């Protein structure tokens, strides 16, 4: 029988009241990662020395029995996390975490392990002043649900593209309202499909709209120019955290994050040298990417292993109970340069995921015992995304047989078919509109694959574009598109053309229902996908 939360949950009351309760620390000689049960005594305070938590808390990389907790102090401090299945924290586990220091911009992360299955977990983050160990921050609270061991309905959301094209935090509009729309749906988790920031997109204080009205942005020095320094990349993430919708969302919805191009620069690839863009004094994109990657790993609730071969893998997988496995791809770190993408044989120039990541994905898919396998791709498969007049940014290169980067995708799709891997669905963002595509080998140029679905959703708070041309190589059929052809480009969020997707897996029928929704949370399209037997 499925386990239940200990108490009837009142999330809103919990999040409002627990931030005012004492977090408490029992003793200072407990070793890091030790756990104890206790009633929490009051925090000793001194306002001048008390650490602050200016950007709230977040959790992410949630899997069957673990989750990563993230927060940031305003000074050197030790991170402490208390958590419980009881919203009143009558029985609490306390975990001492790492120090938040200047070299990580005072961010800190703690992995909670061996969590009880099928439970609502309430947590709060406290920072202990390193120079005055008796002084602690006020606690900041969050909550999440752990996956159940038994079959239970799963409900999650995805989208991408935050604060792009100059559309930032507009208090008069209500900030980045789509995050609040998604939060109210109470998803188990959220996949951010990339473009978490727009490091190449400065935010100006105001933009004049077509009707003469003014869109007013909150601005910061780090968002007033393209990001080049580590401080400026960090400032892009801090900018988003100024939005109360995002902070409230982060406290309640676990995030599975991947990156795309705008975390560094539009359409970037390793080894690129910036030309014809006087905004940049740093021309080496690989140097920019190194700084951008550090900021991404510091500010997103992402877990990674430190090893000598690949210290920060952004590609990774998650199990969420017996019904679902999620595979997060990295389509930036290992790609070759953007070219005309018409090569007839695979080489370093045609790499997109690259051989190491492809081998990992094949192995993970083959070993998966989950009913559904969701591949989170930061770029769409069949949509043509140009880079200049002759080069291409994504997999697709125009109609015809598989060429260039498409050879890598063809090999992967062939592997899925020949190894009888069932129920694979692709989720993506990037193109700033929502769409549903069905890939049909009967209508394709390359035919050695099983039919599958790809769903596109976004943006979250950016300009709207599209629709893009479809490449017929893998036979995609448009089942839905949210933007009619001829729609004027770069529409502001105030026009409502912001989109996200949701996925529900029914624990009784195993049917996956995928929906595409707008800024108001209205369902624009929905389809039921029965599992392959």
Q: ∠ CA 474-477-481 to the nearest 5 degrees?
A: 130
E strand or H helix that includes residue 93: strand 93-100
Counting runs of H as helices and runs of E as strands, what totals does the chain give? 7, 24
pLDDT of amino acid 48: 82
CB 373 within 8 A of CB 419: no
Share above pLDDT 90 across residues of the chain, in percent, rounded to a whole number? 86
**Confidence at 16, pLDDT banded by 50, 70, 90:** very low
Q: Among residues 163, 123, 160, 144, which one has the least CA distance to residue 23?
A: 123
Q: Which positions ≥6 away from 359 have C-beta within 8 Å?
A: none
Per-residue pLDDT tens digits for 84-114: 999 999 889 999 999 999 999 999 999 999 9
* 140-145 and 120-129 strand pairing: antiparallel
Residue 415 φ/ψ, nearest 5 degrees: -60, -45
pLDDT tens digits, one per residue of 259-275: 999 999 999 999 999 99
Rounded to an integer, the average pLDDT of 336-340 is: 96
Average pLDDT over residues 313-323: 95
Mean pLDDT along residues 438-462: 98
What pLDDT score was predicted for residue 45?
A: 58
What are the distances in angstroms from CA 268 to CA 260, 386, 464?
9, 13, 21
Q: Give the model's pLDDT for residue 311.
A: 56
CA distances from 62 to 68, 115, 196, 271 (A): 7, 11, 18, 33
Domain ranges of the chain: 11-145, 154-196+251-261+298-529
Average pLDDT for residues 349-363, to the nearest whole number?
97
Q: pLDDT at position 484, please?
A: 83
The pLDDT value given to residue 279: 98
Q: Check if CATH label 2.60.40.380 holds for domain 11-145.
A: yes
Residue among 178, 117, 167 nearest 519 (CA): 178
How do residues 40-79 score in pLDDT, each as one tens digit? 445 555 678 899 999 999 999 999 999 999 999 999 999 9
Cβ–Cβ under 8 Å, residues 378 and 194: yes
pLDDT tens digits, residue range 199-240? Answer: 999 999 999 999 999 999 999 999 999 999 999 999 999 999
Asked if the model's pLDDT at residue 28 lies above 60, the reply is no
Q: What is the pLDDT of residue 409?
A: 98
pLDDT tens for each residue of 406-429: 999 999 999 999 999 999 999 999
At residue 485 the predicted structure's pLDDT band, cuts being 50, 70 and 90, is confident
pLDDT of residue 47: 77
Higher-pLDDT residue of 450 and 90 is 450
Task: Indicate the pTM of the whole model.
Answer: 0.92
pLDDT at 7 over 90: no
Mean pLDDT for 484-491 is: 89
Q: Say what percent of the chain tops pLDDT 70.
A: 90
pLDDT at res. 210:
93
Residue range 154-196+251-261+298-529, CATH number:
3.60.21.70
| DSSP element (H, E) containing 144 | strand 140-145
**pLDDT for position 151:** 87
């Amino acid at each position: 029988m499925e386990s239940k939360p200990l108490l009837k949950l009142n999330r809103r009351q919990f999040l409002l009241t627990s931030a005012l309760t004492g977090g408490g620390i029992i003793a200072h000689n407990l070793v890091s990662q030790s756990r104890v049960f206790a009633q929490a005594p009051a925090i000793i305070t001194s306002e001048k020395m008390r650490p602050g938590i200016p950007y709230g808390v977040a959790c992410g990389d949630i899997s069957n029995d673990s989750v990563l907790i993230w927060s940031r102090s305003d000074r050197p401090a030790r991170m402490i996390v208390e958590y419980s299945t009881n919203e009143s924290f009558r029985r609490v586990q306390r975990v001492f975490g790492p120090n938040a220091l200047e070299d990580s911009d005072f961010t800190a992360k703690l992995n909670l392990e061996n969590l009880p299955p099928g439970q609502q977990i309430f947590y709060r983050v406290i920072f202990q002043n390193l120079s005055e160990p008796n002084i602690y921050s006020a606690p900041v609270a969050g909550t999440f649900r752990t996956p159940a061991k038994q079959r239970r309905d799963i409900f999650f959301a995805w989208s991408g593209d935050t604060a792009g094209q100059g559309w930032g935090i507009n208090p008069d509009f209500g900030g980045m309202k789509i995050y609040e729309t998604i939060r109210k749906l109470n998803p188990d988790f959220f996949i951010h499909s990339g473009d978490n920031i727009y490091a190449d997109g400065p935010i100006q204080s105001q933009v004049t709209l077509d009707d003469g009205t003014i869109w007013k942005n909150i601005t910061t020095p780090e968002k007033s120019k393209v990001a080049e320094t580590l401080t400026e990349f960090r400032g892009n993430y801090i900018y988003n955290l100024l939005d109360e919708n995002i902070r409230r969302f982060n406290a309640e919805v676990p995030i599975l994050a991947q990156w795309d191009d705008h975390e560094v620069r539009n359409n970037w690839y390793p080894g690129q040298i910036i030309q014809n863009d006087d905004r940049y004094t740093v021309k080496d994109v690989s140097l920019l990417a190194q700084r951008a990657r550090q900021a991404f790993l510091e500010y997103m609730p992402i877990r990674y292993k430190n090893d000598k071969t690949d210290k920060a893998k952004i590609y990774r997988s998650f199990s969420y109970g017996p019904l679902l496995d999620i595979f997060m791809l990295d389509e930036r770190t290992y790609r070759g340069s953007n070219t005309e993408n018409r090569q007839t044989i695979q080489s370093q120039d045609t790499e997109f995921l690259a051989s190491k990541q492809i081998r990992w994905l094949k192995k993970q898919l083959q070993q998966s015992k989950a009913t559904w396998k969701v591949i989170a791709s930061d770029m769409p498969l069949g949509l043509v995304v140009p880079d200049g007049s002759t080069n291409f940014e994504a997999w697709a290169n125009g109609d015809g047989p598989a060429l260039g980067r498409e050879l890598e995708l063809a090999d992967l799709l062939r592997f899925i078919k020949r190894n009888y891997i069932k129920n694979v669905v692709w989720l993506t963002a990037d193109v700033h509109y929502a769409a549903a595509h069905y890939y049909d080998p009967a209508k394709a140029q390359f035919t050695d694959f099983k039919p599958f679905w790809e769903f596109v959703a976004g943006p979250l708070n950016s300009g709207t574009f599209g629709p893009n041309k479809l490449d017929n190589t893998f036979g995609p059929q448009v089942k839905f598109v949210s933007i009619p052809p001829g729609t004027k480009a770069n529409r502001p969020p105030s026009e409502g053309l912001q989109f996200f997707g949701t996925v529900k897996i029914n624990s009784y029928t195993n049917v996956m229902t995928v929906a595409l929704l707008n800024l108001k949370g209205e369902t624009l399209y929905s389809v039921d996908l029965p599992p392959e037997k």
